[in-house]
Amino acid sequence: MNNNPNAPIIILVRPQLGENIGKAARAMLNFGLTEMRLVNPRDGWPNPMAGPTSAGADIVIEQTQVFDTLAQAVADIPNIYATTVRKRGVTKPLVSPEQAAAECFTSAGRNAILFGTERSGLATGEVAMARKILTVPINPEFGSLNLAQAVVLCAYEWSKTQNMASPPVTEIEPAAPQIELDGMVEQLFGMLDERGYFFPKERTEVTQSTLRNLLTKPAWNSGEVRTVRGILSVLKKGKRSGRVL
Amino acid sequence: MNNNPNAPIIILVRPQLGENIGKAARAMLNFGLTEMRLVNPRDGWPNPMAGPTSAGADIVIEQTQVFDTLAQAVADIPNIYATTVRKRGVTKPLVSPEQAAAECFTSAGRNAILFGTERSGLATGEVAMARKILTVPINPEFGSLNLAQAVVLCAYEWSKTQNMASPPVTEIEPAAPQIELDGMVEQLFGMLDERGYFFPKERTEVTQSTLRNLLTKPAWNSGEVRTVRGILSVLKKGKRSGRVL
């Protein structure tokens, strides 16, 4: 069993079929991953269809946590990978399952891998919350990888890192947990909204995704996020209001 | 598509469910393998249950060859790997999927990987026909890997030896030239100075270094720097000044 705190958390975003949740749980436990989170599962949770296909991966199923939103599900996690099959117009680092596993192995702070809904994957706004894109290099002429298979490849690559020596200790401050980043983002969005930045209204979502990508990229740590929030507070005030020290 | 003659042939020995044959075909084609052989499939062949689960991997399904015995199925193949989960009392070299893929890649002569029946795997006499044992290193406390998942891991490792394996080149824009970053930093410093942020004066240099580190970390590209400067301009203006589009 894998109790390594660097082991990635598997987050299924808007999964449709309970059977697939069970299969994902089985694939995880096959390779020592135990922590699954669900975001807004279509048929609720617990789901009686998940048990049989999990084939006895009870420890995963029973500990699964459910969240209403992706933001809540990743609130405590600094290092987030979004799985996508197709290239998207996002400018984030792209890694293979092997690279992602190696990064998780040596990361500061916890890791999570996001998997989108079976039919259409992750939405643009969901991808925007991730620091990196995880893509399985697949046959370009036949690219339909199902959910459990995508999970098993990521879990398998993680398991390979576990045979290695103890990881080198990194001295980089971990990126701030997502909830701290979100607080900063919301503060900025609020200020921009007051000034009419989000115009026209129908472009708001796209613009916000762009800004979120831009602000996720730095991997700012908690102290840096606090500094930026301090800057925003100062900019929000009138001139010469002075700095609170 | 993979036409490398070294690509392993996937041989399913006494498979029970047509659904699983279809899933195996899909897993193969996902990672560029196209040649499947069946030994004495329980429900005959073709099997109408295989089509739907193959999800369009017709090229694999249509070319599948069927044999009455394993001996016939491997008659033309020099390098045979038998997959097993548990160690058996056989004295053969044991390889991982990764090692097997590397060996196939550089082998003289064709390669095949044998997968046993879903319920109980390969029989002892079937394992005896193989040159090596291929074992997926799996959670010792939860070792039930299903057929399609065992196939997908082997196919995935093979694909890594091919060009397909290299992840698509990331399209990340290079970081903005320093002069552009400096322009942004100076713009922010000016705004902060107006608001009395740099206080006390003798700390200004240290504070500015801190902010410069923070703003250098993201490696924002030119477009992102322009976006941030646009945000700063909006924040500098009074409320509801509107966005210039």
Which pLDDT does position A65 carry in this prediction?
98
List the 44-63 stretch of A: residues with Cβ below 8 A of B. Answer: 55-57
Collect all residues of chain A within an 8 Å Cβ-Cβ radius of residue B220: 214, 217
- Residue A164 pLDDT > 60, yes or no? no
The separation between CA B161 and the C-alpha centre of its own chain, rounded to angstroms, equals 12
pLDDT in tens, A14-30: 999 999 999 999 999 99
pLDDT beneath 70, residues of chain B: 1-2, 86-90, 163-171, 238-245
Q: Is A144 in contact with B55 (Cβ distance < 8 A)? A: yes
Which pLDDT does position A197 carry in this prediction?
93
Quick one: pLDDT band at residue A141, thresholds 50, 70, 90? Answer: confident
- Residue A63 pLDDT > 90, yes or no? yes
Of B47, B69, B53, B36, the residue nearest B154 (C-alpha): B36
- Residue A135 pLDDT > 50, yes or no? yes
Percent of chain A at pLDDT exceeding 90: 72
- Residue A5 pLDDT > 50, yes or no? yes
pLDDT in tens, B53-92: 999 999 999 999 999 999 999 999 989 999 987 665 667 8
- Residue A165 pLDDT > 70, yes or no? no
Which pLDDT does position B87 carry in this prediction?
60
Q: Which of A56-70, A130-144, A163-177 reaches the highest mean pLDDT? A: A56-70
Asked if A195 is an interface residue toward chain B (Cβ–Cβ < 8 A), one would say yes
Quick one: pLDDT band at residue A121, thresholds 50, 70, 90? Answer: very high
Residue of A26, A197, A240 lying closest to B196 (CB–CB): A240
Quick one: pLDDT band at residue A241, thresholds 50, 70, 90? Answer: very low
Chain length of chain A: 245
Average pLDDT over residues A43-64: 96
Q: How far apart are CA B107 and CA B123, in angstroms?
A: 26
Which pLDDT does position A170 carry in this prediction?
52
Q: How far apart are CA A60 and CA B116, in angstroms?
A: 27
Q: How far apart are CA A164 and CA A162, in angstroms?
A: 5
Of A150, A130, A188, the residue nearest A20 (C-alpha): A150
Collect all residues of chain B within an 8 Å Cβ-Cβ radius of residue A32: 139
pLDDT in tens, A169-228: 456 788 899 999 999 999 999 999 999 999 899 999 999 999 999 999 888 999 999 999
Q: Which residue of B has its CA nearest to A190?
A: B235
Q: Which residue of B has its CA nearest to A244?
A: B197
Q: Where are the alpha helices (DSSP H) in chain A?
A: 18-30, 50-54, 58-63, 70-73, 97-106, 124-127, 147-161, 178-194, 204-216, 222-236
Q: Is B172 in contact with A92 (Cβ distance < 8 A)? A: yes
DSSP state of A46: S
Q: Which residue of B has its CA nearest to A23?
A: B146
The CA–CA distances, whole Å, from A217 to A1, A89, A92, A173, B225 equal 33, 15, 7, 15, 13
Q: Is A142 in contact with B56 (Cβ distance < 8 A)? A: yes
Which pLDDT does position A124 carry in this prediction?
87
Q: How far apart are CA A97 and CA B88, in angstroms?
A: 31
Which pLDDT does position A162 carry in this prediction?
87
Mean pLDDT of chain A: 89
